[in-house]
Structures are given as C-alpha cells and as structure tokens.
Chains A and B, each alone.
Chain A
C-alpha cells in the first residue's frame, strides 16, 4: 500500500503549479471582473500544454487524457495512468483559477467525452478540436434522461432540434458534444451524443449567462433548429440498446466526476493555504495540540484540512480505479460528493475566518468562495451523487429509490 503520488507525475504537478502561480493567479481578478471577455493569455498557454501532452506518453494535464484506455501497464500490474495524472494536473490548475481552467482551449468536457467513447477514426478526425458539452436544457437539469432535444434520422444525417443551456465554453469551442434523443418514447436508451461543429447551419449561440462565479468561463445557451449532422459524428453505437443504451453516455461521468472533484480540491486548497498564511502569526498549527485544546480558529483549520485530506484521497482512489479498469461509478460519485461539499464549506469558512479581508476584493478568497459553488452542482449535483451512492450501497434501482 502506498498513498503517495508517484515520482513520475511530479514534473507534471510542478508544471501545473507553475502555471497556476505564474499564468492564472496574475489574471484571476481581471477576468472575474471582465465577465465574457476572452482570456487571450490562454492561447499561448494552450499551445505550451499541447506540446507538453504530446511529448508525455503518460498523458498530460488535459481533459482529453482521462479515459479508460489511457493507462499504461506498470510493474506489479498496478497502473498509475492518465486518469490520475489528469486529476493531479487539474487540482493544481484550479488551485490557480477554476474559471480559467474551464476556459482552456481544447480542454473541455466534450474533449473528455470524445476521449472516453469516440472511435479511433473520430478521435483522429477531431484531434486538436476544442469540444464543449451540451446536456442541460431549460426544463431538464439533473434528470438528463428526460432531455427533449431530438435527433431525427434523415439519410446519412441526423437532424437536431432543441435548446441547450449552461454549455461551458459553448461560444469559444470548435465543436459541441450534444445529447439528443432518437425517440422520446423509448427513454434513456435512445439518448445519443453528437459532435456538432461550429458553423453548422441551424446551430446558434443565443446567449451568455451572467454568473455567481467562474466568470472567466463562458456559459452559453445554444439553439438547434433543423441542424443537420452527419452520422459519422455520432459518438458510440447508432443502435438503440435498451439493455445498455444510457450506460454508454453515463460512463463518461466515471472519468469526469473525479476531475470535477479535483477542481473542487484545487480551489479549496488555494483558500485553505491563503487562510493559513493570513492566520499564521495568530494561529500557528503544530498538528499535535488536540482540536479541542487550541483556539476556535485553529480547530476550524484542522477540521477543514482533515476533510480536505479525506476528499483528496477519495478522489485519487476513484481515478486510480479508473486507471486500473475497475468499475468506479460509486467511488467517482463519493469523490464528487465529498469534494464538492467540502470545497464549498472550506472556501466559505475561509472568508468568514479572514473577516473583512476575506470578503474584500483585495484577496481572492471571496472569489474562490463564489467559484466553488458550481463545483457542487455541475457534472451531477451533490444530491445526484448521494443518490448514486445510496442506490449502490442499498442495492436499489432508480425505480425504487427515486
């Protein structure tokens, strides 16, 4: 048993840490204030990151690296692969700035979906594209099996109709992975995902949201009106398999949920570290005085760090299982649930501990406490994660435990 991160990822973690400090942090406040302005500094960074990923056989720090096929065999049969390296990179980059990480060209959740389920031909064709992910609709949030966007087969094409909202990088990306149903009467098995390239007639970005946090990241509403997509852009099988159908699209989450948990860990780490710095003279920590025997502030810092450590290890475990091809739906949801809630708790508590200093814009603490909220919502809310974990532990179907 060894729960330390492997040496081979240290260079990557350090690089991501350098990016966080030297690229993200200096422009963090700027793009928090200038919502919807494109962070042009990221173009240069994205090229650097592409180069790094291409030169790194272990997989880099990007979303496209996380997949069940990304792992390399190591000694003793145990693998530490792309799921873990991507997670470690994500933690560090969100320690820099979550909104900017989400704005990184070619690192969208659509890229993660393509990496997870696309065919080799599709992967080759979509190489270098920035792909965002469009699932949510005005009337459909967590119940993604209930989406209304339709895909009607017409010769070699599918015709998409519907409205998607909350598409991260929906305006800036090169293409969008869109969930649509082939037949609303069949239910979840009929839901397929399509890669729709920007400029396809019938696809229109109609609005950008104004948000509580992650303002550097554009969040788009996209309208599809008789939008024709070639069948070669359908991800996965064309057939409607009632047995397996939805599992295919949901499988993506097993790889992406640990990454969102990693984002939550990163922003919480930033807040905790800065708060410890600000409190260092008044509240020294020795990791020996019991939480009951020191100051109230010290107790808060210890409790937050203990929760952070638990969330961190739950998340590493979920990624480790993915790298080792072990089914990890339950663990991915555990990680997302724990990391999402403690990140929000920690960032808000840090503002409270630092008082007016924490609340003001001189520090980034208030920003982190706004950014963290979305991490307990997107890619499955806290409640959805609890539902998944509960069903697994209790052996209940979604019909029994609703």
Chain B
C-alpha cells in the first residue's frame, strides 16, 4: 500500500523515536507532545459532504465581454454603478467584517452567518453570466478591484474567505470550457453557493508560482496530481479547488472536487489571514478526468496569476487604508510631553508617508485593472502592482504598529493584525482571481 501523508509522518516520527540524539538533546518529551498534536491535526480527509455538480449543458463557453475602451481620456472617476456597489460593500465591510475580525482571527474561522450575509450582497451573481443563472452582462476587473479593496478595508482575512469562492467563479467564467462552466457555475448562483478556493502556493522558500513542484501527469485520459499546497484559504471546507500543477507543457490549473481519493488537508495556519482558515493540501495520486484541466486552448497560466496579483494588491490597499484611518485619530489624541504626538515631525512624517505610499500603490493597481478591463496587456502593470503593494504595504503595516508604540503590539488594537496580514501580500498566490 502506498504511504500516505499520515504514513509518511509516522515513518519520520518512528525514525526520530529510534534515534539516540533525541535523548541526548532532551528532545524526546517535547517531541512526543508535538507528535500527538501533529497526528491530531495532521493531514486529514475533508468532512465536507460531496456536492453533485451539474447543470444544463451549453454548447460553447459563456464569456463575459470586457467593458472595453470606455474613454480615451485619463480619468480617475468611477461609474455611478461602481459607486453604488462600493457603497454597499463598504457598509458591509464596516458594519459586519470589521467588528467580526478580531474573533475570527482568534478562532481561525470565517463564520457561516457572515458568509451568508456576504452572499446576500449578491456579489457572486455579478461574476456568472446570465446563461448560467447569474446576473452578469460584462466582466469588470476594475469593479472587482474596488470590491476587493473595500472588503479588505473591513478585514483582509475575512475578505480573502469571501473572495475565494468569487474568484473561482471569476476564473471559471473567464477561462472555463463549456462543460466546466455548465457543471460548476450554476451552483454558484444557487441558494447556498459552494465554498471554493484556489491553490497555488507550495511550502518552499523563494516560491515561484511559475515553477511548481506539484505535478499533473497524464494517465490514459486522466490526470494524476501529486504534491503539497500551502496556506490555502478555506481548503478543508472547500467543495471545489482550482489547483495549479506542473504538466509536461508547463503549469496548468485543475479543477478538483473535494472528496477525491488521495486528497487530504492539514492545518496551515500562519501569522495572519487566520480568519480565512488557511490549510495545507496534499495530493497523493489524486485522479481527475481529462476535462478537469481548466480552460480551453485560450487558457494562459501567466494571466491567471496576473489576475491574482490584482486581488492581492487590492487587499493590501484596503488594509493599508485601515492603518491610515486608525493612526490619524490615535496620534492626534495621544499626548506626550504636553501635546499630541502628531505635533512632532518624526510622527507626522510617518503618517504623511503612509498616505503617499498608500495612494501610490492604489493607483498602480488601478492602472493594471483598467488595462485588463480594456483588453490591453497588463502583465507588467499587475506585476508592479503586486511588487509595490508587497513592499509598501508591509512598510505601512510596520509603521502603523510603530506609531501606536507598545499599544500597537497588543491585541487591544487591530494594527498588529493588519501587520500580520500585510506580510502575506508579498508571498500569497492562493485564493484570488479578479
């Protein structure tokens, strides 16, 4: 019998237990304790009941048109429709996400009631074409960017949990074949849309999403997946996963339904994004059919990743805005040496720089999204959006904590959570596709 993940872990533990150096170094007792935890929370099969995905057949993929070239002029204004969507998403983010963020972070869980509330906003129906039960008539990366930023302004971890299923719907709409669309997209418009996510990251240093260790090999007409994905939001609860894997023709993305033989999950919690319930996912000879390979000949893995960059850049901007909005009243109210600390340039300049870098990173992301929306090449711009969001976003996160001093280091204030979340922007490729 093939050694599964748990088997592999037991094998390693056994070798450890038999070694002399474990005793010499006094490691046996602590390791026995952690072995207990490891097996308790190690790779497990999902408890999620499998949903039968099916829908009315369509002849060809239902693609949404991009709004295209709406104006020749440089114009930072958004449309009235976009403003209306923003208003409702912002209200939801402020009234529902922000108050829930602290506990969700502690409990490593996105509350079902919150998901239900998010679904009531009807965001998913704007991702799915009318032919498949949705309400979308066009696909606007700019609108998606605004939604992601505003949700991120509520809380990055919760936003990621809400956006992951939407991102899968976006990806299926943008890339899916007729069969894939008709199989999966109608479910997203049903009463209880499926939990779904995207898995790209792997547990290696210097990770590059274009060089994957997870493999997909052809066996007959099937694909066989092997490897480990790391830090995947919602994975153990997901009914549907889009999984990036290396094929002999380069990286591709595969649709994997939960419950597949050889698929197992482990706790993948990290420093932040804890509300999104990060999981590590193991693929041990997981077999999927030929038609599970996402997309048609038009599929472009690079662009798939680029749409993820837009999502992470948007979440970073939303979170960085939270930092700015939080530190301004704090430094104005906090007094030292007889006056508000904001009267000191050393403090005030940090706030100015948060404002400057935030607006800069937001504009870089906006340009990338607006190019995508117009059907222009946007690889460079999306990459730069990610790059500037990762660096300047983290800078804003750490300066946010710094401005609150010792108070910023405690959980009395949310800035330490934003600090942890913003570190993810430089490394995360999971979960998002605008």
Do A and B truly interact?
yes
- Chain B residues, Cβ within 8 Å of A8: 72
Residue B159 CB within 8 A of the other chain = no
CB contacts (< 8 Å) of A311 on chain B: these are 360
- Interchain CB contact under 8 A, A314 and B363: yes
Is B206 a contact partner of A306 (Cβ separation < 8 A)? Answer: no
Q: How far is it, in angstroms, between the C-alpha of A394 and the C-alpha of B352 when the chains are bound?
A: 9
Whether B384 contacts A305 by the Cβ 8 Å rule is yes
Given A1-B78, A309-B388, A310-B388: A338 in contact with B355 (beta carbons within 8 A): no
Cβ–Cβ contact A310 & B74, under 8 A: no
**In contact, A389 and B70 (Cβ under 8 angstroms):** no
Q: Select the residue from A1, A75, A313, A383 with max chain B CB neighbours within 10 A.
A: A1
Q: Does B357 have its Cβ within 8 Å of any Cβ on chain A?
A: yes
Q: Mark A1-39, 1 if CB is under 8 A from B, else 0.
A: 111111110000000000000000000000000000000
Q: Is the CB of A3 within 8 A of B351?
A: no
Which of B38-46, B256-264, B375-383 lies on the face that meets chain A? B375-383
Task: Report if A309-B73 is in contact (Cβ < 8 Å); known contacts: A386-B353, A393-B328.
Answer: no
Q: Please, which residues of chain A bring their CB within 8 A of the CB of B359? A: 314, 317, 331, 334
Is residue A98 within 8 Å, beta carbon to beta carbon, of the partner chain? Answer: no
Q: Kindly specify which of B50-58, B87-95, B340-348, B409-417 makes contact with the partner chain.
A: B340-348
Total A-B residue contacts, Cβ distance less than 8 Å: 173
B364 touches A310 (CB 8 A): yes
Mask: chain A, 70-105; 1 = CB below 8 Å from B; 0 = not: 000011101110001000000000000000000000
Pairwise interchain contact A306-B356, C-beta atoms closer than 8 A: no
B384 touches A394 (CB 8 A): no
Q: Is the CB of B343 within 8 A of A3?
A: no
B367 within 8 A of A: yes
Determine the chain B residues whose CB is within 8 A of the CB of A331 once the complex forms. Answer: 359
Inside 8 A of A76's CB, which chain B residues have their CB? 71, 73, 75
**B210 interfacial by beta-carbon distance below 8 Å:** yes
The interface stretch among A122-130, A217-225, A290-298 is: A290-298
- For A344-385 the 0/1 string (1 means CB < 8 A from B) is 000000000000000000000000000000000000000100
Which of these, A4, A293, A314, A395, contacts B332 with CB under 8 Å? Answer: A395
B376 to chain A, nearest CB (A): 8
B292 in contact (CB, < 8 A) = no
A186 sits at the interface (CB 8 A): no
Q: Are B348 and A288 in contact (CB-based, < 8 A)?
A: no
Interface size on A, residues (CB 8 A): 52
Q: When the two chains form their complex, are residues B208 and A293 in contact, meaning their CB atoms are under 8 A apart?
A: yes
Contact B367 A394, beta carbon cutoff 8 Å: no
What's the nearest-Cβ distance from chain A to residue B371, in Å?
7
Question: Can you list, as one digit per residue, whether each of B311-343 has a CB less than 8 Å from chain A (1) or not (0)?
Answer: 000000000000010001001100000001011
Is B72 a contact of A396 with CB atoms below 8 Å? no
Q: Does B430 contact A (CB under 8 A)?
A: no
Evaluate whether A390 and B72 lie within 8 angstroms (CB atoms) in the complex, with A1-B78, A306-B388 already known.
no
Chain A residue with the shortest CB-CB distance to B71: A2
Known contacts A287-B379, A289-B208; A78/B384 CB under 8 A: no
In the complex where A287-B380, A288-B383, A313-B367 touch, is A387 in contact with B388 (Cβ < 8 A)?
no
A147 to chain B, nearest CB (A): 23
Q: Is B387's CB within 8 Å of the partner chain A?
A: yes
Least Cβ distance of A327 to chain B in Å? Answer: 15
Q: A288-B210, A314-B360 are in contact. Are A394 and B383 (CB under 8 A)?
A: no
Question: Contact at A334–B356, with CB atoms within 8 Å?
Answer: yes
Complex Cα gap A2–B363 (Å): 11
A316 on the B face (CB < 8 A): yes
Please give, as numbers and ranges, the residues of chain A lying within 8 Å of B72 by CB-CB distance.
2, 6-8
Contacts of A166 in B (CB 8 A): none
A211 to B11, CA, bound (A): 71
> What is the size category of the interface that chain B forms with chain A?
35 or more
Instruction: Check A80 against B74 for contact (C-beta < 8 Å).
Output: yes
Let me know if A337 and B74 touch, CB within 8 A. no
Which of B209, B302, B331, B374 is in CB contact (< 8 Å) with A394? B331
Q: Is residue B21 within 8 Å, beta carbon to beta carbon, of the partner chain?
A: no
* Residues of chain A contacted by B353 (CB below 8 angstroms): 386
Look across to chain A and name the residue whose beta carbon is closest to the beta carbon of B360.
A310
Chain A hits for B180, CB < 8 A: none
- Asked whether A313 lies within 8 Å of B208 as measured between CB atoms, the reply is no
- Decide if A400 is an interface residue (CB 8 Å cutoff): yes
- A3→B73 CA distance, assembly (Å): 8
For the complex, what is the distance from the CA of A401 to the CA of B346, rounded to whole Å?
11
B74/A287 in contact, CB under 8 A: no
In whole angstroms, how far apart are the Cα atoms of A60 and B384 in the complex? 30
Cβ–Cβ contact A290 & B370, under 8 A: no
How far, in whole Å, are A337 and B357 apart by their CA atoms in the complex? 10
B 411-433 to A, binary, CB cutoff 8 A, 1 in contact else 0: 00000000000000010000000
Q: Which residues of chain B come closer than 8 Å to A309, judged between CB atoms?
A: 364, 367, 381, 384, 388
With A and B bound together, what is the CA distance between A290 and B207 in angstroms?
Answer: 8
The answer to whether A5 and B343 have CB atoms under 8 Å apart is no
Task: Indicate which residue in B142, B209, B373, B376 contacts A290 across the interface (CB closer than 8 Å).
Answer: B209
Q: Chain A's nearest CB lies how many Å from the CB of B129?
A: 23
How many whole Å from A47's CB to the nearest CB in chain B?
30
The answer to whether B355 and A3 touch across the interface, beta carbons within 8 angstroms, is: no
- Asked if A303 and B387 make an inter-chain contact with CB atoms under 8 angstroms apart, the answer reads yes
> B361 near A: Cβ within 8 Å?
yes
CB-based contact B76/A1 at 8 Å:
yes
- A5-B74, A313-B367 in contact; A338/B210 too (CB < 8 A)? no
Q: A1 near B360 (CB under 8 angstroms)?
A: no
Encoded as 1 (CB less than 8 Å from any A CB) or 0, chain B from 290 to 325 comes to 000000000000100100000000000000000010
Interchain residue pairs with CB less than 8 A apart (7): A4-B74, A75-B73, A310-B357, A334-B356, A395-B332, A396-B343, A401-B348
Q: Which residues of A contact B (CB under 8 A)?
A: 1-8, 74-76, 78-80, 84, 287-293, 302-303, 305-307, 309-311, 313-314, 316-317, 320, 331, 334, 337-338, 383, 386-387, 389-391, 393-396, 400-402
- New A-B contacts (14) at CB < 8 Å, excluding given A5-B74, A288-B379, A400-B343: A2-B71, A2-B74, A6-B74, A76-B73, A79-B73, A310-B363, A331-B359, A334-B359, A337-B352, A389-B352, A390-B349, A393-B355, A394-B351, A396-B343
